[in-house]
Amino acid sequence: ATGTAPDAFGRPAQVNIGRLPDGTYQLVDLTRPAAVTTYDAAGRDVMDFDRSLPADARPAASASPDFPASTGTSGATDAHLNAAAVYDFYRDRLGRDGIDGKAGPITSVVNVTSFGEPLENAYWDGEKMIYSGGSGKRHPFSVARDVAGHEMTHGVVKHTAGLVNLGQSGALDEAVADYFGNAIEVTSRGIPMTDPRAALLGEDLCRTGTPEACADRRLDDRRTTVADYVGAPAGVDSGGVHLNSTIASGALWDIRRTLDPLLADRLVYRALTEYLTPLDDFVDARNAVLAAGRALGLSRAQLRTVANAFDAHGIKD
């Protein structure tokens, strides 16, 4: 069935929904091979939803196909629409059938808290996406399509290269998640690569301030190289996975800006699915992307462009 639901800004949106035998409706989209389901934690603690859903969890529901305002303010509508948009990108552009490639379920939980406050983050818990609700400073995290793409890509990585979330392999995991998060946002929303916001991650989440100040990371900072690598201990950000990711994502984004974006997406995806392995480091990633480029029949000049991008970030064989 289809219904309407306000998004986080109160704008009406069309949503694919499911109808239960008792005549009520849920945010369950069965129009794709993979079921897209969205739960509203309604401010419950994140630990109730981490990895396994509580026994009483139900997808966001409504008595009528026109969902109430709370479906929007919690971020549920945006999570539902963004999960479908990310699915469509992977299917239409890369021929992938969902997170696991086999039409497995795509599940989001919105509006979780931590110690009584909005979580102020989003993450992939190994099975599904979990998003903070809104706070005084920020909109619900599911509003940002690049963030939704980032978190869902962690699921794709889990089912492909299996990059281990520690040190350089973990920074590569974050880099690939940021690359596709931004690639999905700009492609599905028609944002040109030359738009300064294209390279920013999470730039739309702040209630005030500039996109640059709001963004968690930027992928177009040419100055970030292996010379900036932060050797964090394992207990700090899993060995600096978010502190060092832009060294690698910067190289990948350079490739997307200088090569054709579609070719770059196919290249990074080929490296992820066929060449990268769980403990790979930045140099392994360079070699994986170049190997993927040869397999895709890139010209010598195109392969040089790829090598130059890694060189510019100090990732050299």
4: contact with ligand ASN by CB under 6 A: no
Find the Cα–Cα–Cα–Cα dihedral 110, 116, 120, 123, rounded to 10°: -50
Please state the closest distance from residue 210 (CB atom) to ligand ASN, in A.
21
Q: Is 174 in the site for ligand ASN (CB under 6 A)?
A: yes
| Residue 4, φ and ψ in degrees, nearest 5 | -125, 150
Which option in Zn ion, ligand ASN, none does residue 49 bind, with CB closer than 5 to 8 A by kind? none
Whose Cβ is closer to ligand ASN: residue 121's or residue 305's? 121
Q: What span, in angstroms and rounded, lies between the C-alpha atoms of 125 and 305?
A: 36
Selected binder of ligand ASN within 39, 49, 67, 123 (CB under 6 A): 123
**Closest Cα to residue 132, out of 245, 30, 8?**
8
Stretch that binds ligand ASN, among 106-114, 120-128, 131-139, 246-254 (CB under 6 A): 120-128
Whole-angstrom distance, CA of residue 219 vs CA of residue 200: 6
| Smallest gap from residue 206 Cβ to ligand ASN (A) | 15
- 5 or 163: whose CB is closer to ligand ASN? 163
Q: Tell the smallest beta-carbon distance from residue 242 to ligand ASN (Å).
A: 6
Contacted by 145, from Zn ion, ligand ASN, none: CB < 5 to 8 Å by type: none
Question: How would you classify the pairing of strands 36-40 and 106-114?
Answer: parallel
Confirm or reject binding of residue 201 to Zn ion (CB under 5 A): no
Of the candidates 144, 177, 184, 219, which one interacts with Zn ion according to CB under 5 A?
177
Rounded least distance, CB 207 to ligand ASN, Å = 19
Helix/strand/coil percent split, the chain, to 5: 45, 15, 40
Q: Out of 16, 24, 70, 121, point to the residue binding ligand ASN (CB under 6 A).
A: 121
Q: Does 172 bind Zn ion (CB under 5 A)?
A: no
Q: Of 221, 200, 222, which Cα lies nearest the Cα of 211?
A: 200
Residues 145-164 that bind ligand ASN (CB under 6 A): 150-151
- Whose CB is nearest to ligand ASN? 123
Closer CB to ligand ASN, 59 or 149, in the complex? 149
Q: Where are the alpha helices (DSSP H) in 53-195?
A: 69-73, 76-94, 145-158, 167-189
In single-letter form, the type of residue at position 255 comes to I
- Give the H or E element holding residue 238: helix 237-258
Should residue 49 be labelled a site residue for ligand ASN when binding is judged by CB under 6 A? no
DSSP character at residue 206: B
What is the C-alpha to C-alpha distance for residues 275 and 51, in angstroms, rounded to an integer? 28
Q: How many helices (H) and strands (E) does the chain have?
A: 9, 13
- Does residue 242 carry a catalytic annotation? yes
- Site size toward ligand ASN (CB under 6 A) is 7
> Between the CA of residue 176 and those of 92, 179, 245, 248, 317, what are the distances in Å?
19, 5, 9, 8, 20
- Active-site choice (80, 150, 151, 313): 151
Q: Residue 121 touches which of ligand ASN, Zn ion, none (CB < 5 to 8 A by kind)?
A: ligand ASN
Catalytic residue among 120, 127, 159, 242: 242
Verify binding: residue 24, ligand ASN, rule CB under 6 A.
no
- Half-sphere exposure (Cβ direction) of 85: Cα atoms closer than 13 Å: 27
Provide, rounded to whole angstroms, the least separation between the CB of residue 151 and ligand ASN.
6
Contact positions vs ligand ASN (CB under 6 A): 121-124, 150-151, 174
Which residues are catalytically annotated? 151, 242
Contact positions vs Zn ion (CB under 5 A): 174, 177
